Amino acid sequence: MIFRYKSSLLVLFICLIPMAVLSGQAEVTRSVFVPPEYYIGDPVELRLQIELDSFEVLMEPLNYEEPEWVEIRNIDISQDRRTAEISIKFTSFSPGTRALPDLNFGPFTLSDFKIYTKSLVEEGESDLRGLRPQVMIPGSRLTFFLLILAVFVLPYLLYFLIRLLVRYIIVLIRKYHSARPFRALNRTLKKLDAGLEKMGVRDFYIALTDSLRIYLSARTGFDCLSATTSEIARFHGFGLDQTLWDRMVSVLKQGDMVKFAGETLSKEEMKENLDFVLSLCQEIEKREDFHVDL
C-alpha cells in the first residue's frame, strides 16, 4: 500500500520502494475488509485508518479510471485533524489478486492497493455447475394447481351446475303451469263453499259441474265441457279406482237432473258433493301418469 505525495522529490523514492509508506507523510495503520472474505459479485467495504504527520485536508476522488472488473460504488472520508478514516465500497467481478485504481485524495494518492477476490471454482469445484431449477416459494405448487383447476375445471363445473339449475327451473315452470287447472278449480270450490247457504241448488250445480268439466278437459286434453255425461261415463281414466270414477259420474248426473229436470237436493248433499269433487281432484293431482282411456 502506498500513499504518494504529489512532489517530484519523492517520485524516485516511490519507484525504488513501491510498497512503502510515502516519506512518513501518511501511514495506513489499519485496513479492514467487511466482510473479511468475499466472492465475485459480493458488495464489500474497505475501511482504511490513516495517520497524518501534519494536518492535511483529504478530498473525495472525483476523476479516476475505473476498470471493468470492479465497480466502486461509494467513497466516504471522516477526518479528525491528523487522523482520517476512509471507506471505499466496491464490488469485484474478477477472481484473484488485483489492484484498485489510483485514487487521488488531494495531497495523497492511494496507489497499487491489492485486493483478493475468492471464487467458488477455486474452492475445489473444477467446473461450473449448470443452472439449477427455479426455486418455488412454499405453497406455490398448491397455488399453481388451484389456478390450473380454476382455469380448466371450474368452467365445466359451472356449465353443469347451470344446466342442472336450468332443468330445475324448467321443471318448476312446468309444475306451475300444470297446476293451473287445479288452482282455478280450487278457487271456485272455495267460493261455492263460502256461499253454500245462500246459493240456489241449480246455480250451485251449474258452477260445480262446469268447473269440474273444465278441470277434466285441461287434465285430459278432451273437451269434457261439450261432452255429455254419458260420454264421460264411458271413459276409463286417470288411473283411478273405478268406484271413484263412478262416484264422479254420479255427481255429474245429479247436476244434469238439477239443471234440466228441476230436481232439488239438500244442503248436506250439496256439501258432500263439493267435498268429494275437491278430494277427487286432489287425488288426480298426485298421479303423474294421468291419462284417459276411451
Q: How crowded is the C-beta side of 294, counted as CA atoms within 13 Å?
A: 5
Question: Which band of pLDDT confidence, cut at 50, 70 and 90, is reported for residue 158?
Answer: confident
Determine the pLDDT at residue 32: 92
pLDDT of residue 123: 54
- Beta-carbon contacts of 13 under 8 Å, excluding residues fewer than 6 positions away, are 20, 23
pLDDT of residue 288: 60
Q: Hey, CA dihedral for 205, 211, 215, 218, is it positive or negative?
A: positive
Distance, in Å, from the CA atom of 199 to the CA atom of 205, rounded to the nearest integer, reads 10
pLDDT band at 13 (very low <50, low <70, confident <90, very high): very low
**Residues written for the chain:** 294
Local confidence band at 262 (pLDDT 50, 70, 90 cut-offs): confident
Mean of the pLDDT values across residues 67-83? Answer: 87
| C-alpha–C-alpha distance, residues 259 and 202, integer Å | 6
Q: Which range has the worst mean pLDDT, 29-33, 104-108, 268-272, 279-283? A: 104-108
CA distance 223 to 179: 18
C-alpha dihedral (215, 188, 276, 209), degrees to nearest 10: -60
CA of residue 122 relative to chain centroid, distance? 49
Digit-coded pLDDT (tens) for 120-130: 765 555 555 56
Least confident interval from 150-159, 232-241, 250-259: 232-241
pLDDT digits (tens, 9 = 90+) for 111-152: 888 999 988 765 555 555 566 666 556 667 778 788 887 888
Give the rounded distance of the alpha carbon of 27 from its chain centre: 66
Grid cell listed for 247: 262416484
pLDDT in tens, 163-198: 999 998 988 887 777 778 888 888 988 988 888 888
Q: Which one is predicted more confidently, 3 or 13?
A: 3
Instruction: Give all strands (DSSP E) within 20-141, no chain letters.
Output: 26-34, 43-52, 70-80, 83-92, 96-99, 103-104, 108-111, 114-117
Domain map (residue ranges) of the chain: 2-117, 180-293
How is residue 253 written as a grid cell?
Answer: 248426473
106/6 Cα distance (integer angstroms): 9
Cell of 164: 342442472
Q: Show Cβ contacts of residue 46 under 8 Å, excluding neighbours closer than 6 positions.
A: 31, 32, 33, 34, 87, 88, 89, 90, 115
